Structure 1
Amino acid sequence: MKQLKIAVQKSGRLNEESLKILKDCGISIDNGREQLKAPAKNFPLEIYYLRNGDIPQYLKDGVVDCAIIGENLLVESGDNIVVKEKLGFSKCRVSLAVSKFFEYDSIQDLNGKRIATSYPVTTNKFLTEKGITADLHIINGSVEIAPNIGLADAICDIVSSGSTLFKNNLKEVEVILKSEAVLAASPKISEDVNELLEKLLFRIKSVLKGRENRYVLLNTPNDKIEAITKVLPGMKSPTILPLAKEGWSSMHSVVNQEAFWDVIEELKAIGAEGILVCPIEKMIV
């Protein structure tokens, strides 16, 4: 029986969030401690626990069929690897940073300077596009210490909250790219295994859609239904049910998480009452 081989980060935050989305897709993994691979109990899938930096090569070689991986790694070393879906977690950016004492006005200030990075391809492409010539020092890990020990004038590295830069007396000066976790497919995936990947992708999209939205129930006077319908379009239109109280109805709909509080405030201003908000586990459209 064919199995879908999926790679995830061996440890760390990306590992935890990757396993969570698979769990939310209804996939149960037998993942004991220190296992390098483990089967799913209820889906034709086998999960591989790999070093983050090794995953692009495993995808290229067809050792794994797909992976949950940071988009930044694909930009750096993921030629011919197809991104099937952006997953919305583990968001970060690849940025240039300099010492807080460095007088930085523009990217031109890095011309002829030394830049330490674990992302030489990404860094060099950005500098070339900007017409900047710099001396790149490739470092694996602890890049942020380079300016403090005189190894480099600047760094190019992953930034999440910026706290690591702050602790090392660095300031972010240029954002090269923004990244998040993605589901990526091997260029060598077979047609029959790709069918399994599409089934997994269908589940993932349903979970992501649910995370992006909230289910809203409210009570409204009947003369306010038209105004509220304009605020609550829902997937097609709101569900409207009559209440036992004459002249009143209950309305059910879906609200996007990003617009949620603005919508709720508008509903209250129109006259909606008894507003209930529920999370959506999965949403199939």
Structure 2
Amino acid sequence: MSGDDSRARLRIAVQKSGRLAEASQDLLARCGLSFRRSRDKLFCYGEALAIDLLLVRDDDIPGLIAQGVCDLGIAGRNVVNEFVLDRGDGQTAIAELRALDFGRCRLAIAVPRGSTYTGPKSLEGLRIATTYTATLGDWLRRNGVRAQIVSLSGSVEIAPRLGSADAVCDLVSSGATLAANQLREVDTVLESEAVLVAATECTGERVELRELLLRRIDGVLDVRESKLVLLHAPRAALAAIERLLPGAPAPSVTAVEGKADEVSLQALCRGSVTWQHLEDMKRAGATRLFVLPVEKMLA
């Protein structure tokens, strides 16, 4: 399979297994995409739209996009950043389009417990084990630190205990793995989450498909934590109630037929709407309060 500018179908690469796999496919399903899997379960043919899915190793996703094999991909920012820096030619042929708000973690520096750390300069002359050699190298250069990078493909956190490194640079989520290996986190190299990346060049019918999918993804992300709040209120209390609405910049207000002094308010609240919010609005004069989930939205 190779890059082909003449093909009409859009291809998306996602992780076949691992921490981003399920959430990535769930996002696409919420965008209305459905797929039929091939026998090898690595290529999935799009049924709802001319959009196909490729299930691959996360480290392969940026390369497949850069080569033109796929048009879009969902990967960790840590993987994308490492690919871009590793190429080092300034022409990566891929770009980050959206942060997707799942798979959050950080690429962090950790040192053995009891070690002194006052800043990046504390790493001068030390051996640092990592899988992300290009990202770590870039961070060290930007901080003016000369250190030896020890490249490992896995089990990075055990390197200091084995005597092969003095510190590590590894992905951290909860920090439990570091603690289990008597390490403490001291600095952040990169904040990461799942991101949507794309080829910088996309032609023909695939351009329209990509824009359509982006609109749907934006809609899914917008409503993920959104709630629709409906209420009635006296006109005199409207300003006070609007100030209590969480994350609702432009509520819609209409008159209530037959009640000159009463209005109906509808607001899309981006974020949590708690019992405290409702009780505060009720005390301000609101009645008939409803909080409804939002399934889909297209701006």
TM-score (norm 2): 0.87
Residue 95 of structure 1 deviates from its aligned partner by 0.8
Q: Relative to 1, partners in 2 of residues 1:92 and 1:269: Cα closer, same or farther, differing over 3 Å?
A: farther
> Deviations for 1:139-198, whole angstroms, at most 9, x for unmatched residues?
111111111211111111111121221222211111111111111112343243122111
Find out whether 1:68 has 2:74 as its counterpart.
Answer: yes
Give the Cα separation in 1 of the matches to 2:67 and 2:198: 11
Residue 268 of structure 1 deviates from its aligned partner by 4.1
SS at match of 1:42: coil
Find out whether 1:37 has 2:51 as its counterpart.
Answer: no
Residue 263 of structure 1 deviates from its aligned partner by 5.2
Q: Relative to 1, partners in 2 of residues 1:119 and 1:265: Cα closer, same or farther, differing over 3 Å?
A: farther
* Counterpart residue number, 1:169: 182
Find out whether 1:54 has 2:92 as its counterpart.
Answer: no
* Counterpart residue number, 2:144: 131
Is contact 2:113–2:182 with CA below 8 Å preserved after alignment? yes
Is contact 2:14–2:24 with CA below 8 Å preserved after alignment? yes
Find out whether 1:252 has 2:266 as its counterpart.
Answer: yes
* Counterpart residue number, 2:88: none
* Counterpart residue number, 2:83: 77
* Counterpart residue number, 1:186: 199
> Deviations for 1:48-88, whole angstroms, at most 9, x for unmatched residues?
00001111111111111110111111111133311111111
**Which is worse superposed, 1-10 or 201-210?**
1-10
Q: Unaligned regions of 5+ residues in structure 1, if any?
A: none
Q: Unaligned regions of 5+ residues in structure 2, if any?
A: 1-6, 85-91
Give the Cα separation in 2 of the matches to 1:241 and 1:106: 60
* Counterpart residue number, 2:103: 90
Give the Cα separation in 2 of the matches to 1:159 and 1:243: 57
Give the Cα separation in 2 of the matches to 1:97 and 1:269: 50
Give the Cα separation in 1 of the matches to 2:202 and 2:238: 51
Is contact 1:220–1:271 with CA below 8 Å preserved after alignment? yes
Give the Cα separation in 2 of the matches to 1:125 and 1:274: 57
Corresponding residue to 2:256 among 242, 245, 253: 242
* Counterpart residue number, 2:285: 271
TM-score (norm 1): 0.91
Residue 129 of structure 1 deviates from its aligned partner by 0.9
Residue identity over aligned pairs, in percent, reads 38
SS at match of 1:13: coil
* Counterpart residue number, 1:15: 21
SS at match of 2:136: helix
**Which is worse superposed, 180-189 or 109-118?**
180-189
Is contact 2:71–2:198 with CA below 8 Å preserved after alignment? yes
* Counterpart residue number, 2:117: 104
> Deviations for 1:4-44, whole angstroms, at most 9, x for unmatched residues?
01000010231101110111011112247851111121110
Is contact 2:251–2:266 with CA below 8 Å preserved after alignment? no
Residue type at the aligned position of 1:60: A
Give the Cα separation in 2 of the matches to 1:33 and 1:114: 46
Residue type at the aligned position of 2:34: S
Q: Relative to 1, partners in 2 of residues 1:169 and 1:275: Cα closer, same or farther, differing over 3 Å?
A: farther
Residue 246 of structure 1 deviates from its aligned partner by 8.4
Q: Relative to 1, partners in 2 of residues 1:15 and 1:274: Cα closer, same or farther, differing over 3 Å?
A: same
Give the Cα separation in 1 of the matches to 2:138 and 2:221: 32
Residue type at the aligned position of 1:66: L
Is contact 2:232–2:287 with CA below 8 Å preserved after alignment? yes
Give the Cα separation in 2 of the matches to 1:58 and 1:176: 26
Give the Cα separation in 2 of the matches to 1:211 and 1:160: 22
Q: Relative to 1, partners in 2 of residues 1:200 and 1:67: Cα closer, same or farther, differing over 3 Å?
A: same
Where do 1:143-154 residues align within 5 Å?
A: 143-154=156-167
Is contact 1:114–1:136 with CA below 8 Å preserved after alignment? yes
Residue type at the aligned position of 2:107: V
Number of residue pairs matched by the alignment? 284
**Which is worse superposed, 187-196 or 170-179?**
187-196
